[in-house]
Structure 1
Amino acid sequence: MKQELEALHRESLERRLRTHVSIPESPGYVMCGERVLLDLSSNDYLGLARHPAIIEAMRDALLKEGAGAGASRLVTGNRQPYAQLEKALATWQNCDAALVFANGYTANIGVISALVGRGDVVFSDQLNHASIVDGIILSRAEHARYRHNDIEHLRALLYKFRDKRRKLIVTDTVFSMDGDQAHLLDLIALKQEFNALLMVDEAHSGGVYGPRGEGLASALGVKNDVDIHMGTLSKSFGIYGAYVCGSETLIKWLMNKARPLIYSTALPPSLIAGAIQALKLVQTEHWRRKRLLAASEFFRSSLCKAGFNIGNGDSAIVPLMLGHNHKALQFSSALENEGIAAIAIRPPTVPEGTARIRFSLSAAHSLEELTDAITKICRLGLQLGVVE
């Protein structure tokens, strides 16, 4: 282990934990050591993580229900707030029922391994989140990876495995490291043509897209054509946890077959109470979405005009592609010196040779703050030879 860790260090791939402290009076900022930094790496897209109404709901539930659930949901941990949240989630997504999981990772592992097994096949975009990949591995189903957003490649794989017992297509709707979107309309057409199931992970689009923040499937008007809706409560909602929405049969099946749900202690009731309040804010405070999308367009267009390679997309995730691991770490360190928290993302989180800075915007950021950040990013890009 020591030798491998030394090799990771030489290749600029070693990972270390650093402590970042939120600043109550300064939303959108964190403190690292003695430095106050503009937080351009958080997934708190709508700026809800410190919302007073959410904190108050959590405080009330904490005093009423206690610190923890004490058991799994199928034992005695299924406290009253769960039913309220799941009913609200199902209504929000216009589905029969919903089920809350501990987090997005366990939700994806639980759903995929419960739905498919030996004799089945899962078709997964090459850039899907690691939790989807791990869920497929644990399911023991055939894993058919298609090239990123390559619909013709997916079609060929669907034809190749057309005789499999059960066929499941799984995709992120907004890809977490690239910020671009899945081609949902094409995926739905293929799902129908080959009689497959379609599962979407709305982790990075829930709260951001759709008339009430339902996600990309809703924004495109195809929500009812998706079989399994999965999303997280830890990004736009500013809390923690995940949800799965679908038919009543699907939810009952998961209650009986999803091992991460069955064998995990339930989330603390205070978190569930906070999520209930966050869902109300996601659906009603539309200005947060508008502000976030306007900031994303401004930030993207500014970096693009400056000559940076930021890929395609219109989301709050803006990847500044650098290629080399050391260059990504160097750029991240330089940004920190300028008062910006923007973390270097390296393999295996992204493919070899595609190390990057992953900027992630928030409705908590003002136009003035982003303008200042862009000026610093452009100056550093020139100094480090990233742009000319």
Structure 2
Amino acid sequence: MSEPWVLHEGVPIATAQVLSHFEQLDRFRKAAPTVAHTAVVAGDPCFDRLLESAADRDLYRAALGLRDGRRLVVVNTTWGPRSLFGQQLALVERLVAELPVDDYLVAAVVHPNVGHAHGRAEVERVLAHARRGGLLLVPPFDWRAALLAADALVGDHGSVPFYAAALGVPTILATFPTDALDPESPIARFAGEAPHLVPGSSLRDQIEKAIHTYTPAEHADVTGSVTSFPGRSLELLRALFYGLLELPEPPWPATPDPVPVLHHHRQRVSPLWARVVEGRVERFPSAVDHATTPRDRAHLVVDATQPTGRAAEMADVLIRDAHEAPEGWAARAFDRLPGLTVAGLVEADRCRLRLRDGTEIVRHAAPGQDPAVLASVLYNELVSGGRHQSF
């Protein structure tokens, strides 16, 4: 917003330069004093849409399948070589690899300029392993819905992390080129306060720490600079535009539209590495094995309702939804797969478990629990020498 960008042959390019906060007005006057008279502070219409919808957070979470305490971690990148994608492209796969699929959904919000520069197909190719591991690649204009549902955000020096922080979402910066922004800007000042990701340390520990310890009030002095007129931006902008056109304003109020809901049907990720930790099953996608260290004391779970390929030959546990399961499917699976130990048929809130010797065990899931994990519980009992009980 300095003079070379807002003047043409010494004449202001725009009749009005719209700013969102009065702190920008102070900086604009310093950077472009001859154009300062064109500045109009009129709030932020984008943030106003987020504010309009913030009370419906539960709705946005339910539409993404975030129930029973499952958390949403949004990883956001702006564009350019100094962005998160430009500096730490593998971070997305690491997040998918290190966060258990039953406890977390990871969503990627990628700046549209990345797709414009490289092509949407290339973005999808780069994230293919993570997507097979359960990553939600958010459509370019649905990022607001993801932000409203988020439990934490990992980002860079783009605007989305600052919006997240202003909404009170725990925000961690993975990369931040301090010389890329005006050091007096709120985003640059927020970077000096916000937690920064430590690449070599456990991402899960850092995410959970941020969720439990992040205090939005600590950053309110900075994040409050997102707008000087919360909820009023459209009102002010419409008055400005109609005034410039010398036309009367419409009689109806200018109010922001709510953010459209983003629907995402949770997919059953397969294959999965599963392990029992302190009596609780944790499952991680095999598709991103290359992004993390080998799983200790884990077994491989394959979903028979998806194309299994070679993964089935390594499966310790095979699961299948009861819907349209053919008679005798478990017996045929044991005949075909000599390494298989447990076959589980998921029926509503229970899992009908079969062993190689024909033993059948029925177990019921706890409220909110995926019945498929019961097959992993039984497998762990068998390999650890524990006893299993028929129900």
TM-score range, shorter chain: under 0.3
Larger radius of gyration: 2
Higher relative contact order structure (alpha carbons within 8 Å, sequence separation ≥ 6): 1
Q: TM-score, normalised by structure 2?
A: 0.23
